[in-house]
Protein backbone atom coordinates (compact mmCIF):
# COMPACT_ATOMS: atom_id res chain seq x y z
CA UNK A 1 0.00 0.00 0.00
CA UNK A 2 1.30 3.45 -0.94
CA UNK A 3 2.25 5.63 2.05
CA UNK A 4 0.70 9.11 2.01
CA UNK A 5 1.70 10.79 5.29
CA UNK A 6 4.76 11.19 7.48
CA UNK A 7 4.70 9.04 10.61
CA UNK A 8 5.14 10.50 14.12
CA UNK A 9 8.64 9.03 14.08
CA UNK A 10 9.41 10.74 10.78
CA UNK A 11 8.02 14.03 12.00
CA UNK A 12 10.09 13.74 15.16
CA UNK A 13 13.16 13.18 13.01
CA UNK A 14 12.49 16.37 11.05
CA UNK A 15 11.90 18.32 14.26
CA UNK A 16 15.17 16.95 15.65
CA UNK A 17 17.15 17.89 12.54
CA UNK A 18 15.60 21.32 12.01
CA UNK A 19 15.41 22.51 15.60
CA UNK A 20 12.72 24.99 16.60
CA UNK A 21 13.27 28.68 17.33
CA UNK A 22 10.21 30.73 18.26
CA UNK A 23 11.43 34.09 16.98
CA UNK A 24 12.82 35.11 13.62
CA UNK A 25 16.51 34.51 13.01
CA UNK A 26 18.66 34.59 9.85
CA UNK A 27 19.28 31.31 8.07
CA UNK A 28 22.58 30.67 6.29
CA UNK A 29 21.39 32.93 3.44
CA UNK A 30 20.34 35.72 5.80
CA UNK A 31 16.63 35.07 5.20
CA UNK A 32 14.26 35.53 8.18
CA UNK A 33 13.35 32.11 9.52
CA UNK A 34 11.16 30.90 12.40
CA UNK A 35 9.82 27.71 13.92
CA UNK A 36 11.05 24.52 12.27
CA UNK A 37 12.99 26.33 9.55
CA UNK A 38 9.97 28.14 8.11
CA UNK A 39 10.64 30.93 5.58
CA UNK A 40 8.56 32.84 3.07
CA UNK A 41 6.93 36.19 2.38
CA UNK A 42 4.86 35.99 5.56
CA UNK A 43 7.93 35.51 7.79
CA UNK A 44 9.31 38.90 8.79
CA UNK A 45 11.88 40.18 11.26
CA UNK A 46 10.66 40.62 14.82
CA UNK A 47 8.05 37.84 14.70
CA UNK A 48 7.52 35.68 17.79
CA UNK A 49 5.55 32.43 17.73
CA UNK A 50 4.17 30.10 20.36
CA UNK A 51 5.17 26.45 20.25
CA UNK A 52 1.66 25.64 19.04
CA UNK A 53 2.07 28.00 16.09
CA UNK A 54 5.36 26.32 15.17
CA UNK A 55 3.82 22.86 15.46
CA UNK A 56 0.79 23.86 13.37
CA UNK A 57 3.00 25.44 10.72
CA UNK A 58 5.05 22.26 10.42
CA UNK A 59 1.88 20.19 10.13
CA UNK A 60 0.54 22.43 7.38
CA UNK A 61 3.79 22.59 5.42
CA UNK A 62 4.25 18.84 5.52
CA UNK A 63 0.69 18.24 4.33
CA UNK A 64 0.57 20.94 1.66
CA UNK A 65 4.15 21.20 0.42
CA UNK A 66 6.49 18.33 1.19
CA UNK A 67 4.40 15.16 1.42
CA UNK A 68 2.72 15.41 -2.03
CA UNK A 69 5.92 15.01 -4.10
CA UNK A 70 6.99 12.09 -1.92
CA UNK A 71 3.56 10.46 -2.09
CA UNK A 72 3.70 10.73 -5.89
CA UNK A 73 6.61 8.27 -5.90
CA UNK A 74 4.39 5.45 -4.64
CA UNK A 75 6.66 4.48 -1.73
CA UNK A 76 5.33 1.50 0.22
CA UNK A 77 7.63 1.47 3.25
CA UNK A 78 7.04 4.07 5.95
CA UNK A 79 10.70 4.52 6.89
CA UNK A 80 11.61 5.24 3.27
CA UNK A 81 8.76 7.73 2.98
CA UNK A 82 9.85 9.48 6.18
CA UNK A 83 13.47 9.74 5.02
CA UNK A 84 12.39 11.20 1.69
CA UNK A 85 10.09 13.70 3.38
CA UNK A 86 12.99 14.90 5.53
CA UNK A 87 15.18 15.25 2.45
CA UNK A 88 12.44 17.13 0.59
CA UNK A 89 11.90 19.44 3.57
CA UNK A 90 15.60 20.26 3.62
CA UNK A 91 16.45 20.64 -0.09
CA UNK A 92 13.09 21.95 -1.28
CA UNK A 93 10.34 20.63 -3.50
CA UNK A 94 12.07 21.41 -6.80
CA UNK A 95 15.37 19.97 -5.58
CA UNK A 96 13.74 16.76 -4.46
CA UNK A 97 11.59 16.35 -7.58
CA UNK A 98 14.68 16.60 -9.78
CA UNK A 99 16.96 14.58 -7.53
CA UNK A 100 18.68 11.31 -8.29
CA UNK A 101 16.90 9.93 -5.22
CA UNK A 102 13.48 10.51 -6.77
CA UNK A 103 14.57 9.20 -10.16
CA UNK A 104 15.99 6.02 -8.66
CA UNK A 105 12.82 5.38 -6.64
CA UNK A 106 10.70 5.85 -9.78
CA UNK A 107 12.91 3.28 -11.47
CA UNK A 108 12.50 0.87 -8.55
CA UNK A 109 16.21 0.98 -7.68
CA UNK A 110 16.16 1.55 -3.93
CA UNK A 111 19.83 0.66 -3.52
CA UNK A 112 20.78 3.51 -5.84
CA UNK A 113 18.26 5.81 -4.15
CA UNK A 114 19.94 5.15 -0.80
CA UNK A 115 23.38 6.01 -2.16
CA UNK A 116 22.02 9.11 -3.90
CA UNK A 117 21.12 10.74 -0.57
CA UNK A 118 24.83 11.49 -0.28
CA UNK A 119 24.73 13.71 -3.38
CA UNK A 120 23.19 16.43 -1.18
CA UNK A 121 25.98 17.23 1.28
CA UNK A 122 26.66 20.88 0.46
CA UNK A 123 27.21 22.81 2.66
CA UNK A 124 29.29 20.34 4.64
CA UNK A 125 27.11 20.79 7.74
CA UNK A 126 24.50 18.68 5.93
CA UNK A 127 26.72 15.60 5.73
CA UNK A 128 25.58 14.20 9.07
CA UNK A 129 21.93 14.77 8.26
CA UNK A 130 22.29 12.93 4.95
CA UNK A 131 23.94 10.01 6.72
CA UNK A 132 21.06 9.82 9.18
CA UNK A 133 18.41 10.16 6.45
CA UNK A 134 20.10 7.44 4.41
CA UNK A 135 20.21 5.17 7.47
CA UNK A 136 16.49 5.78 8.02
CA UNK A 137 15.80 5.06 4.34
CA UNK A 138 17.62 1.75 4.80
CA UNK A 139 15.49 0.89 7.83
CA UNK A 140 17.55 2.08 10.81
CA UNK A 141 15.72 3.64 13.75
CA UNK A 142 16.21 7.43 14.05
CA UNK A 143 17.90 8.93 17.12
CA UNK A 144 15.77 9.72 20.15
CA UNK A 145 14.41 13.26 20.22
CA UNK A 146 16.28 15.87 22.28
CA UNK A 147 13.58 18.25 23.41
CA UNK A 148 13.69 21.94 24.30
CA UNK A 149 13.42 20.93 27.97
CA UNK A 150 16.48 18.70 27.49
CA UNK A 151 18.36 21.68 26.04
CA UNK A 152 17.30 23.90 28.92
CA UNK A 153 18.26 21.26 31.47
CA UNK A 154 21.71 20.88 29.91
CA UNK A 155 22.18 24.66 29.99
CA UNK A 156 20.94 25.00 33.57
CA UNK A 157 17.91 27.07 32.57
CA UNK A 158 14.30 26.96 33.77
CA UNK A 159 12.70 24.07 31.91
CA UNK A 160 9.52 25.57 30.48
CA UNK A 161 9.88 23.84 27.11
CA UNK A 162 9.74 27.13 25.19
CA UNK A 163 12.64 28.06 22.91
CA UNK A 164 12.44 31.79 23.56
CA UNK A 165 15.03 34.59 23.53
CA UNK A 166 16.73 33.51 26.78
CA UNK A 167 17.22 29.92 25.67
CA UNK A 168 18.35 31.11 22.25
CA UNK A 169 20.94 33.45 23.78
CA UNK A 170 22.37 30.67 25.94
CA UNK A 171 22.49 28.25 23.01
CA UNK A 172 24.42 30.84 20.96
CA UNK A 173 26.86 31.39 23.83
CA UNK A 174 27.32 27.65 24.29
CA UNK A 175 27.91 27.10 20.57
CA UNK A 176 30.55 29.85 20.45
CA UNK A 177 32.35 28.45 23.48
CA UNK A 178 32.21 24.91 22.08
CA UNK A 179 33.65 25.98 18.72
CA UNK A 180 30.43 25.25 16.83
CA UNK A 181 28.60 27.31 14.23
CA UNK A 182 26.78 29.87 16.39
CA UNK A 183 23.39 29.86 14.68
CA UNK A 184 21.15 29.11 17.65
CA UNK A 185 19.87 25.94 15.98
CA UNK A 186 20.04 22.89 18.23
CA UNK A 187 21.02 20.36 15.61
CA UNK A 188 22.91 17.09 16.04
CA UNK A 189 26.35 18.70 16.56
CA UNK A 190 25.05 21.01 19.28
CA UNK A 191 23.10 18.18 20.91
CA UNK A 192 26.23 16.01 20.98
CA UNK A 193 28.21 18.86 22.56
CA UNK A 194 25.50 19.50 25.15
CA UNK A 195 25.43 15.84 26.10
CA UNK A 196 29.22 15.69 26.29
CA UNK A 197 29.39 18.80 28.48
CA UNK A 198 27.61 17.00 31.35
CA UNK A 199 26.19 20.29 32.60
CA UNK A 200 24.00 19.66 35.65
CA UNK A 201 20.27 20.07 35.15
CA UNK A 202 18.64 22.84 37.15
CA UNK A 203 15.49 24.88 37.35
CA UNK A 204 17.37 27.97 38.49
CA UNK A 205 19.63 30.39 36.69
CA UNK A 206 22.44 30.04 39.23
CA UNK A 207 24.28 27.13 37.63
CA UNK A 208 27.99 27.80 37.06
CA UNK A 209 28.71 27.69 33.33
CA UNK A 210 31.94 27.50 31.37
CA UNK A 211 30.39 29.55 28.55
CA UNK A 212 29.50 33.22 28.76
CA UNK A 213 26.60 35.23 27.39
Nearest-angstrom CA–CA distance, 65 and 76: 20
pLDDT band at 198 (very low <50, low <70, confident <90, very high): low
Where are the chain's structural domains? 8-137, 148-197
8-137: what fold?
A: Lysozyme (1.10.530)
Nearest-angstrom CA–CA distance, 24 and 39: 9
Instruction: Name beta bridge partners: 23.
Output: 48
Q: What is the mean pLDDT of residues 169-174?
A: 90
Question: Which stretches within 138-198 are classed as H helix?
Answer: 148-155, 165-177, 188-197
What SS3 class is residue 24? strand
**pLDDT of 202 above 60:** no
Give the pLDDT score at 212.
52
Q: Is there a contact between 50 and 121 (Cβ–Cβ < 8 Å)?
A: no
Q: What is the pTM of this model?
A: 0.73
195 or 187: whose pLDDT is higher? Answer: 195
Nearest-angstrom CA–CA distance, 94 and 66: 10
What value does the mean pLDDT of the chain take?
88
211 or 70: whose pLDDT is higher? Answer: 70
Amino acid sequence: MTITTTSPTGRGFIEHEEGCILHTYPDIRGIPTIGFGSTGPNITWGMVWTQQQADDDLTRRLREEFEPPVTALGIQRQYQYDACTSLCYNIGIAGFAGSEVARAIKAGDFTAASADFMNWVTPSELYGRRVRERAMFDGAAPPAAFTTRDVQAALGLPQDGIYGPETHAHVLAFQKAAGLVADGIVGPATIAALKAAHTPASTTSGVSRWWKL
